[in-house]
Structure formats: structure tokens, C-alpha cells
Amino acid sequence: MQDMQEKTVRILSMVASAFLFTAGVSLSVISCSKAIVREEEPGHESAITFSGVDTRAAVEDASGINEFSVWGYYTPEDAFSTVFDKVTVTRENSQWTYDGLQYWKSDKQYDFYALYPTVEILTTGEQQAADNITCNASGALSIIGFNSTKGHDLMTASRTGMSGGNPQMVDLKFSHELVRLSFKVHAENAIVVSASLYGVNYGGTLKKEKTSEWTELEKAGNAGTTPFRGNDIEFVDGTADLFGEILILPHTDLSEARLDLTFKTSDTGPEKTLTYNLSNTDVSEWTAGKSYGYNVILSGNMDLTVTVSNWVIQDTVVEW
């Protein structure tokens, strides 16, 4: 054992990738990084290594990615079948590490499940977004009491059926579990007094095994209680951002989704409030991993069209 501990370490290249396949297109690829593993020799098992993601909202590339949580199990089962239990994998100086280095067993088959941001970040601190998070050996991941208004980009990944007799890097492919929204107003002569987005679900419990399912939903039911609202919204070069970037749960039905906009054309002019049902467009649902950018053009009409993209906000037109 002492001889084994005294062996030198070498750095193996790792590729950390975050993909969401929508209409056959890969969402994003996270760039190459590294992890520390022990030198492999005859009779010695090689270390298990991983890739990773970060804690900030709406991951776009690898520049801010630094950690994730992982669960790992093997079969046939024995007393040590749980290899990882919400272990944090962290990037430090271009190297990926975790506490308690684990090694492949040649007669075992491994399954891995991962979550970004980490369990610790999601369940503690000022930006706590979940009450509890669990995962079992069948890959049933539960994120209980999740609140999307805390600004975390929720992502999950799995890698199953890896043979311990053929050690290789665990290549995790992460998928977004949330939707990304933006609402902007364009007007030359208008003052936006207030805006509200409501009739939408912003919280709940995610249960994911083979598919994702949101239950116990928490709804922004009306304009007065919704967390998505703004007052005295300023225009910059004729454009006002109503709420900033919104991360929200997927919706299969937008029939209750409403956007209220109160505005006036001068400081002393009368206020006018318009309400629009967001289902009155070609887009009837919000799908995880996609962005929906709404642009409101203040006029006498109330036409609304929507285009969709993969985490890239594009212009759409709303005429009011």
C-alpha cells in the first residue's frame, strides 16, 4: 500500500461537455479541462475522473464552469457499491479534483449521475433554491422544492453502463432543465410605469429518471404577487428591459400566462394598461433548454409573434 501511495501522478486530459439536443442540434460544448489521476501500473486500478459545469445562471460556454455534484454506483452490488454520493467535483487551476479518489474495479459495471450547480449551492446560502436533493442507484434524481427565481441554471447528466474492466474518462453530457425568457419594450415616446408576468409556474419538484417531470408546482397567480414584475422601467436608446433574464420551469400549456404592461406617453399623460395572453401566438409551450425573447413595440395594435432559439435570445415582435 505504501508503494502504491508513493507513485507519481500524471495529468490526463478531460473533456467537459454540456449538450442539449433539440431538433438534432447540440446545445453547447464545454471546452477541454484536466483532472489528476494516479499512474496506472499492472495490478493497480486506474482512478475515476470526471468533467464539470458551473454555478452561474445560463451557462453559455466553459469560461465560468468550475464544479458539479456526482452520484456513482456499480453492479454487481456489494458493501461498497455506492462510489459517489453527491460528491463535489471542482476545477482548480485547470485541474478537476474531488476528495477521496476512487478507482475502477475490473469486474464491475458503473452508472454515474450528475447535477449542476452543486447540491451545496442549491440547498444552502442566500441563493438557496431547493429544499432537498436525492439520487439513488437507479438514477432517480429528485430536486425538491426548487425555486427558479434564485437565478440558477439547472442542468442534469447521466453516464451509464461503463465497464470497470475498460477504464476511461466519464464523459458527462449535461442538459438544461429550465427555460430562458426575456421581455423588452421598444418605444420612442413612452414611459413604462409597470410590467408583470404571471399565470406561470416558477417553482416545484423535479423528478428525473429517464425523463423529467415537474410536480407540486408553485404558480405566480396574479399581477400583484408574481415575482416577475418591474416598476418605473427606464429606456436606453428607445429600449427597456422589463424583468432582466428570467429562468423558469418548462410549460406545456401557456393558456394562463399573461403579460401586463402599464405605460403613458408623457409625464403628465394618462396611464394605459394592456394585458396579453402569451398563448395567442404560434408558440404554445416553453421547452426546457430553449430561449424565448419577446420584444414589445408600443403602438395601437396588439399583435404578438414569437421565435425560438437554443439559449440565444433573438428578437421577436409584440405590437401594442
Encode pLDDT of 39-64 as tens digits: 333 334 689 987 654 333 344 544 45
Burial (CB count within 10 angstroms: exposed 0-12, middle 13-18, buried 19+), residue 139: middle
What number is the average pLDDT over the span 108-116? 95
Given CATH 1.10.490, say whether it is the number of domain 179-202+220-319. Answer: no
Q: Which of 243, 154, 247 is nearest to 194 (CA)?
A: 243
What is the Cα–Cα distance from 111 to 124, expressed in whole angstroms? Answer: 27
Is residue 278 predicted with pLDDT exceeding 50? yes
β partners of residue 97: 90
Instruction: Give the model's confidence band at 153: pLDDT under 50 very low, under 70 low, under 90 confident, else very high.
Output: confident
pLDDT digits (tens, 9 = 90+) for 222-265: 998 999 998 888 888 888 889 988 999 999 999 999 999 888 87
In Å, what is the CA distance from 277 to each residue of 199, 293, 313?
10, 15, 21
pLDDT for residue 65:
59
pLDDT for residue 316:
35
Residue 150 DSSP one-character state: G
Quick check: helix, strand or coil at residue 149? helix
pLDDT digits (tens, 9 = 90+) for 185-215: 887 777 888 999 999 999 999 999 989 999 9
Which residue, chain included where needed, has cell 413595440? 297
| Domain boundaries, given as residue ranges, for the chain | 2-176, 179-202+220-319
Beta strands in 209-286 (DSSP E): 212-220, 228-233, 239-241, 246-248, 258-264, 272-277
Quick check: helix, strand or coil at residue 64? helix
Instruction: Give the model's confidence band at 148: pLDDT under 50 very low, under 70 low, under 90 confident, else very high.
Output: very high
Is residue 302 predicted with pLDDT exceeding 70? no
